[in-house]
Chain A
Amino acid sequence: MMHDRSIAELIAAVRAGETTPAALADHFLARIERLDPQLNALITATPERARAAAAIAPQTGSLAGLPILHKDIFCTKEVKTSCGSRMLDNFVAPYDATVVERLHGAGTVTLGKTNMDEFAMGSSNENSYYGPVKNPWNLDHVPGGSSGGSAAAVAAGLAPAATGTDTGGSIRQPAALCGVTGIKPTYGRVSRYGMIAFASSLDQGGCFARSAEDCAHVLGAMAGFDPRDSTSVERDVPDYVGGLSGDVAGLRIGLPREYFADGLEAESRAAIDAAIAQYEALGATIVWIDMPHTDLAVSTYYVIAPAEASSNLARYDGVRYGHRCDNPQDLDDLYTRSRAEGFGAEVQRRIMVGAYVLSAGYYDAYYVKAQKTRRLIAQDFQSAFESVDLIAAPVTQAPAFKLGEKADDPVSMYLNDVYTLPASLAGVPGMSVPAGFAHGLPVGLQLIAPWFEEARLLNAAHAYQQVTDWHTARPAGFE
């Protein structure tokens, strides 16, 4: 079936005239129509626009005719861009994000916008104004978040690939929980222009697909310098697909002790151990390393991310776009009601935490302190990469939990991000690679590379996927 083919095969088929962008679009649009009602992975499907675009899509271009879904955090011209929030329920973006523009330029056809936690704040997709996304492996479970819609859609074969963003694990964690491959590149590798900001010093765009090879195709088209983003790095993008030798012999892989300590659920641990053994079998050298400041990641992140978020979300004031309350009595009423009505509870909590840690009297104790612990965490990576080429670790402590299970306890949800936060704080690239199952739900292996070594990361994942088939598994009902 078309949705089981790799991106390379799909593009080749288009180029060879065996299929057309229109036929591809129709195939996946039909799957969305048939299967998404169970999942709620999309906020907006754009079948008419997709068919119109497919009809005129060029048959050349690095991703000619490839159907794709965008996380609803990327601005898409003339298409609703909600960021999972009531605040932007009525917002039709007047411009395209750089990522959208680039992928369009490479020949992709956009099928719609995927569901997400409101303003990317969440790890379960339960914080969406549009309702939770279901995990295709078990509809009673969460898909992870915040890019849960993209991960679930790729897992269910609603699209060959989808974009996502990762601030503290929002690509790696849902990829792990949905059994797909996801990559968060180095901070600065992919333009943030047009990607609605959550925490600017952490946000990074990336993608989901079934395999590392598929991710290499998509990331190659997304990445690169953008003069409109001051934090985008002027550095050539290597040929990620060309770099997939599948050879990891001699690669030194470090296992941080702190990531394998208490709290890692047993069946998940077994899957990770098996994956590591596989690497050893492929000729990699496995060594244990120490990353002593790992336990500071959660507290550091939950100062910095809310602080930046409270600032980034100050622009939603009901004046120029977005939700405005009915009959504002005065300016203060306009602000306070529009914002209280437009934002959900988790977003309001984080805005308040952020405003608090930046406020007079607390700034040094919280914000400046967190900036310092952030450096300690980054230094852990720096010294680790002096002795190893790659870090391998679990993505989460356990597979996908049940919908509603942690909804009343934001803190337990935060603590769950412990394995993904450090790489985000350091800005290094990370991936989640399907590595088996625990309790019938997918487990992801996390791979982390030094800054700008996405090629190494993709190749290591590719090598593993050459000898395993976890990434090709399909949930029942979505074959």
Chain B
Amino acid sequence: MSLTTDDVRKVAHLARLGLDETELDGYARELSSILDVVDHLGQADTADIAPMSHPLDLGARLREDKPDAAIDREAFQRVAPDVAEGVYRVPKVIE
């Protein structure tokens, strides 16, 4: 599978990675060679094989409905880049 620079641009946008135009060729080459390795999967016969999303074949353990979280807003927000009045801030979003 070979990716074009346009494919790279699209996937970079999906992942919100701001790539320089000059980087696109290099990434297209590298990602294509990774996908070449991955394409090996196509040869495997997986008829009647159920997908395995998890190494353990277990059901979820459920939690009791107790609101007992320790919430230290001050500590959580000490590492935040822009906070005012307890609110995280980002550049203005227009809906």
Chain A residues positioned under 8 Å from B84 (CB to CB): none
Choose one: B55, B60, B78; the contact of A187 (CB below 8 Å): B55
The reply to whether B40 and A296 form a contact with Cβ atoms under 8 Å apart is yes
Q: Which of B8, B37, B52 has the most CB of A within 10 A?
A: B52
The reply to whether A328 and B91 form a contact with Cβ atoms under 8 Å apart is yes
Q: A227-B63, A334-B91 are in contact. Are A375 and B11 (CB under 8 A)?
A: no
Question: Which residues 311-358 of A sit at the B interface, judged by CB distance below 8 A?
Answer: 314, 317-322, 324, 328-337, 339-340, 343, 348-349, 351-357
The reply to whether A336 and B34 form a contact with Cβ atoms under 8 Å apart is no
The reply to whether A410 and B91 form a contact with Cβ atoms under 8 Å apart is no
CA–CA, A353 to B36, complex, Å? Answer: 12
Chain B residues positioned under 8 Å from A378 (CB to CB): 52, 55
Chain A residues positioned under 8 Å from B61 (CB to CB): 227, 230, 234
CA–CA, A359 to B3, complex, Å? Answer: 14
CB distance from B82 to the nearest CB of A (A): 7
- Total interface residues on A, CB under 8 Å, equals 73
Chain B 36-48 per-residue mask, 1 if CB under 8 angstroms from chain A, else 0 = 1111111010100
The interface residues of chain A, by DSSP majority, are classed as helix
Choose one: B18, B41, B93; the contact of A296 (CB below 8 Å): B41
Chain B 72-95 per-residue mask, 1 if CB under 8 angstroms from chain A, else 0 = 100110111110000010111100
Closest to A93 in B: B79
The reply to whether B16 and A336 form a contact with Cβ atoms under 8 Å apart is yes
The reply to whether B58 and A369 form a contact with Cβ atoms under 8 Å apart is no
The reply to whether A339 and B18 form a contact with Cβ atoms under 8 Å apart is yes
Chain A residues positioned under 8 Å from B17 (CB to CB): 336, 339-340, 343, 348, 351-352
CB distance from A452 to the nearest CB of B (A): 10
Chain A residues positioned under 8 Å from B38 (CB to CB): 299, 302-303, 353, 357, 366, 370
**Is residue A201 within 8 Å, beta carbon to beta carbon, of the partner chain?**
yes
CA–CA, A341 to B8, complex, Å? Answer: 17
**Is residue A368 within 8 Å, beta carbon to beta carbon, of the partner chain?**
yes
**Is residue A237 within 8 Å, beta carbon to beta carbon, of the partner chain?**
no
The reply to whether A303 and B15 form a contact with Cβ atoms under 8 Å apart is no
The reply to whether B33 and A411 form a contact with Cβ atoms under 8 Å apart is yes
CA–CA, A426 to B12, complex, Å? Answer: 31
**Is residue A374 within 8 Å, beta carbon to beta carbon, of the partner chain?**
yes
The reply to whether B46 and A349 form a contact with Cβ atoms under 8 Å apart is no
Chain B residues positioned under 8 Å from A370 (CB to CB): 38, 41
The reply to whether B14 and A355 form a contact with Cβ atoms under 8 Å apart is yes
CB distance from B42 to the nearest CB of A (A): 7
CA–CA, A322 to B39, complex, Å? Answer: 35
Choose one: B30, B51, B58, B88; the contact of A371 (CB below 8 Å): B51
The reply to whether A375 and B42 form a contact with Cβ atoms under 8 Å apart is no
CB distance from B21 to the nearest CB of A (A): 13
CB distance from A117 to the nearest CB of B (A): 16
Q: A300-B41, A410-B30 are in contact. Are A352 and B56 (CB under 8 A)?
A: no
The reply to whether B52 and A352 form a contact with Cβ atoms under 8 Å apart is no
Choose one: B11, B27, B41; the contact of A369 (CB below 8 Å): B41
CA–CA, A451 to B56, complex, Å? Answer: 9
CB distance from A357 to the nearest CB of B (A): 7
Q: List 13 A–B pairs whose Cβ atoms lie within 8 Å, in order of A's numbering.
A: A94-B78, A201-B54, A230-B60, A299-B39, A328-B90, A339-B18, A349-B30, A369-B46, A375-B51, A376-B44, A425-B55, A426-B55, A427-B56
Chain A residues proximal to chain B, CB less than 8 Å: 90-92, 94, 187-188, 201-202, 227, 230-231, 233-234, 293, 295-296, 298-300, 302-303, 310, 314, 317-322, 324, 328-337, 339-340, 343, 348-349, 351-357, 359, 365-366, 368-376, 378, 410-411, 414-415, 425-427, 451
Given A94-B79, A336-B18, A375-B51, 6 more pairs with CB closer than 8 A: A340-B19, A351-B15, A352-B15, A352-B31, A365-B42, A411-B36
Chain B residues proximal to chain A, CB less than 8 Å: 3, 7-8, 11-19, 27, 30-31, 33-42, 44, 46, 49-56, 58, 60-61, 63, 72, 75-76, 78-82, 88, 90-93
Closest CB pairs A-B (n = 4): A427-B55, A336-B18, A371-B51, A372-B46
